[in-house]
Structure 1
Amino acid sequence: MKIVVLDAYSIVYNDLSFDFLKDYDASIYDFTSPEEVVSRIGDAEAVFTNKCEIDKNVIDSCPNLKFVGELATGYNNIDVQYCKEKNIIVSNIPSYASNNVSEMVFAFLLDVFYNLHDYDVAIKEGEWINSKIFTFFKHTTHNLAGKTIGIIGYGDIAKAVEKKAIAFDMNVLVHRRTQDTSDKKFVSLDYLLANSDIITVHTPLNQQTAKLINEESISKMKDGVVFVNTSRGGIVDEKALYNALESGKISHACLDVLTKEPMEKDNILLKAKNITMTPHIAWAAYETRKKLIDILEENLKAYVSGKPINVVNK
C-alpha cells in the first residue's frame, strides 16, 4: 500500500521517526506547501496530515485515496463530510495530549501569578544583593488557590485541566455545548464569563466556536480576568483581544495558538501588553508525540485489517 506523510517534521522533530512505515511504500515529507499536496499524494491510498488541508479539490484530484490519518485530535483541516461521500475513512488521534496541554495551562498560570522569570533576572542583575531585607519584593504575587477558573468545553483536555485546578484548591466552572444539570459547576457561558477569574478555552474550531471570544463576550467577562487559549487560534478575535489587553479588561492573556500560523509579522498581538505567547507547543512534549505515533500505527493497522478505529466521519 502506498502511503504519503505530508508534514512529518511537526510530529517527529529530530527525536522520533515513522519507522513503523518501513514495511509500506511510504513517502515521508517534512513539509508540504498547499500547492504540493495533490502532486505528493498522487495515487496513494493513504495520507497522513497534521495541518495540510485535505479539501474537495485534493480529494477529487486523488481518486485512489481511501484513508486519511489526521496527526492530531482536531480535524478542521479535512473536509470530513466530503470524505464520507467519497467513502474515504478519516481517523484522528484522540486523547493523546490531555496531560501535556493541561500542564501547559498551569505553566502559563503559574508564570502569570508568580512571574518567577522576573525574579530570576532581578537576582542575576544584583537586585537581591542590594536588598535591605531577606525578602526582596519586586512585584506582588498571587495564589491560584481560591480563584475561580472557567473552562469552556468539556472534552478530555478540559477534564484534565479541571482535575489539576481542583488539586490547586481552585473553584471550577464549566460551560459545555450540551446542557447538563447534573452538577452546579455546569453553567451558561454568560455566567462563566461574568464569574471567572481565569478563563481557559478547550473547544474544537468550527462554525459555532469561530471567534467565540470577541468584543461582545469579552465585555461580559470580569474586569482583570486572565485569559488562556491552548485550543485553536480562530476561536479568538485577535483585534478584540488586543483592545481588551490595552484597556486592562483582560489583565493578562496566554496564547499557544493563533488564527494564522506561523505567526505573521504584522499580527497585532505582537504589540500587545501583558501577553505571553508560545508557538503552538502545548501539545508537543516528547512523550506526547511518541504516544501520537503509537496511536497512528494502531489506526493504520486497524484500517488495513478492515476494522478501522477512531473514525470521525462514520
Structure 2
Amino acid sequence: MMNTVFLDAGTLSPIQLRSDQSEQLSPKHFDIDISRLAHCCESLILFNQTDSKQRLDRCRNAQHIITNKVVINAELMDQLPQLELICVAATGYNNIDILAAKERNISVCNVAGYSTQSVVQICFQLLLQLNNHYGAVQTMLIEKGWQNHPEFVMLPKGFSQLEGKTMTIIGHGTIGKAVSKVAQAFGLKIVLAQLPERDLKDGYTPLEQALSISDFVSLHCPLTDETSKLVNQAFIDKLKPGALLINTARGGLLDEDAVAEALHNGTLAGLGCDVLSTEPPSHDNPLLSAPNVVITPHIGWASIEARQTLVNELAKNIDGFIHSKPRNIIV
C-alpha cells in the first residue's frame, strides 16, 4: 500500500479547530474539503503537528510526505529508504534539503500561485488600518463611546485619501503585480523599485530614488542573501517622511531592531506586517511593542479559497507523480 503522511495538516485548519488535542485529524477538523487529497492517496494520515522527535516514527512507512513547515533534512531522508516524494504545502521550500533529496532520487514539489488574492487582501487591510488610524478609532470607541460623544462624528485623528499618493512596490512578481492592480484602482501612483546591485530594468526606478518619493512601500520580494534585512537603517533614512511600510512577504526582509527604533522615534510613520523573522515570535520581538504597528499572524495566504486551492493542488501533485506525470517539481 502507498502510504502518505501530512506532518502538519493543522496548519490548514482554523486555529479554533486546532485546540483538539488529538494527534491525528479527520475531515471534520477542516473548514475546507480535503476529499480530493484523501481520494488520491491509498492511505493518508493527517497529523495535527509534528516536532523533530516525532518525524522519523511518523514517516517510517511513508512513500509520500506532505509538509508545510516541518523540516525534512538529509539525516531524516537517510532513514527513509522507501521515500519517493516530498510535497511542500506551500510555495517556499527552504525547510527541505533540496540537494540531499536530489542525491537520493527523492522528488520534491511545491504549490505556487494559490494565495495571490488572499495576500493582496491582507496587504490592503494592513495599509487601510494604518492609513485610516483604525486602532485609534477603536480605542476611542471603547474608552469614550460614540453614544456619549457631543457630535455626530468622532474623529480621533485625521486620515488622508489614498488617491494621488505614491506606492513603491519592491518585488513585481505575481503578487506584486496583483497589488499594483488594486493600488491603481484606489488611484495610487505605482513605482517599481529596482533592488540595489542589479541592472536597472525598463519601467523600474532605483531603490533610493523610489523611497524618497514613497508614501507607502509594499514588500513582495523573496528572502535571499541579497534581500535579508533589506529594510535597515540606511533604507529607513532614505524614506520620505511620513511613509508607511507594508510587509506581507518574509519577516527576514526587515532588520526588526532598526524598524522598531524608527517607529519609536517617528522616522517611520507606521508598519503593517503579516510576517516576522521568527514565527511564532519571541516575547521580546521589538515590533510587538512598537507604536503604530498592525500585525497579523501570517494569515495572508490562508483564506478559505486559497487553502482549498492549496489542497487541490497537493492532490494533483501526488496524483501526477503516481501516474508518472509529475508537476510542480523542484527536483
Pair in the same fold by TM > 0.5: yes
State the distance in 2 between where 1:59 and 1:216 align. 42
Match of 1:10 in 2: 11
Q: What amino acid does structure 2 have at the position aligned with 1:10? A: T
Instruction: Find the counterpart in structure 2 of residue 72 from structure 1.
Output: 90
Displacement of 1:121 in angstroms is 5.2
Q: Which stretch of the first structure deviates more once superposed, 151-160 or 118-127?
A: 118-127
Aligned to 2:174: 156
Letter in 2 for 1:69: C
**3-state DSSP class of the match of 2:269?**
strand
The alignment's C-alpha RMSD in Å is: 2.1
CA distance in 2, matches of 1:28, 1:123: 43
Which of residues 279, 296, 316 in structure 2 aligns to 1:261? 279
Following TM superposition, by how much is the alpha carbon of 1:132 offset from its aligned partner in structure 2, in angstroms? 4.8
| Structure-2 change in CA distance of 1:104 and 1:7 (3 Å) | same
Q: Distance in 1 between matches of 2:72 and 2:123?
A: 30
SS in 1 for 2:54: helix
8 Å CA contact 1:43, 1:63 repeated in 2: no
Counterpart of 1:81 (choices 80, 94, 99) is 99
Distance 1:52 1:162, change over 3 A: same
Q: Deviations over 1:27-63 (max 9, x none)?
A: 2211011222233212322111111112222222322
1-side partners of 2:72 and 2:247: how far apart?
A: 25
For residues 196-238 of structure 1, the C-alpha deviation after alignment (integer angstroms, 9 at most, x for no partner) is 2111111222222222222222222222221111111122111
**Retained in 1: the 8 A contact 2:74–2:97?**
yes
Among 12, 17, 21, which residue is 2:38 paired with? 21
Deviations 1:166-223 (A, max 9, x none): 111101112356756343xx22222222222111111222222222222222222222
Structure 1 residue 4 displacement after superposition: 1.2
Q: Which has the higher contact order (CA 8 A, sep 6+)?
A: 2
Aligned partner (choices 251, 257, 260) of residue 239 of structure 1:
257
Q: How many Å separate the matches in 1 of 2:146 and 2:114?
A: 43
Instruction: Spell out, residue by residue over 1:115-156, the C-alpha distance to the aligned partner (whole angstroms, 9 max, x if none).
Output: 345435535655544555443332101111111111111221
Classify 1:223/1:63 alpha carbon distance in 2 versus 1 (closer, same or farther; 3 Å). Answer: farther
Q: Is the 8 A contact 2:200 2:206 kept in 1?
A: no
Letter of the 2:38 counterpart: L
Q: Distance in 2 between matches of 1:166 and 1:284?
A: 24
Contact 2:129 2:294 in 1 (8 A): no
Mapped to 1, the partners of 2:234 and 2:84 lie a distance apart of: 43
Q: What is the identity, as a one-letter code, of the residue corresponding to 1:5?
A: F
1:1-314 matched pairs, under 5 angstroms: 1-13=2-14, 14-16=30-32, 18-19=34-35, 20-22=37-39, 23-116=41-134, 118-119=136-137, 122-123=140-141, 127-129=145-147, 131-175=149-193, 179=199, 181-183=201-203, 186-313=204-331
Q: Distance in 2 between matches of 1:137 and 1:68?
A: 53
Which one-letter code corresponds to 2:32 in the other structure? L
Contact in 2 for aligned 1:173/1:192 (Cα 8 Å): yes
Q: TM-score when scaled to structure 1?
A: 0.91
SS in 2 for 1:265: coil
Please identify, of 115-124 and 249-258, the stretch whose mean Cα deviation from structure 2 is larger: 115-124
Distance 1:44 1:129 in 2: 61
Cα gap change, 1:131/1:245 in structure 2, threshold over 3 Å: closer, same or farther? same
Cα separation, partners in 2 of 1:245 and 1:32, compared to 1, 3 Å: same
Percentage of identical aligned residues: 34
Q: Which stretch shows the higher mean deviation, 17-26 or 86-95?
A: 17-26
Gaps of 5+ in 1: none
Residue 245 of structure 1 aligns to a residue whose secondary structure is helix
Query: Structure 2-normalised TM-score?
Result: 0.87
Distance in 1 (CA, whole Å) between partners of 2:144 and 2:283 is 35
Q: Distance between the aligned counterparts of 2:330 and 2:58, measured in 1?
A: 24
SS in 1 for 2:45: strand
Q: What is the deviation of 1:163? A: 0.6
* Greater alpha carbon shift after TM alignment, 45-54 vs 113-122: 113-122
2:216, 2:243 within 8 Å by CA — same for their partners in 1?
yes
Letter in 1 for 2:201: T
Q: Distance in 2 between matches of 1:86 and 1:56?
A: 9
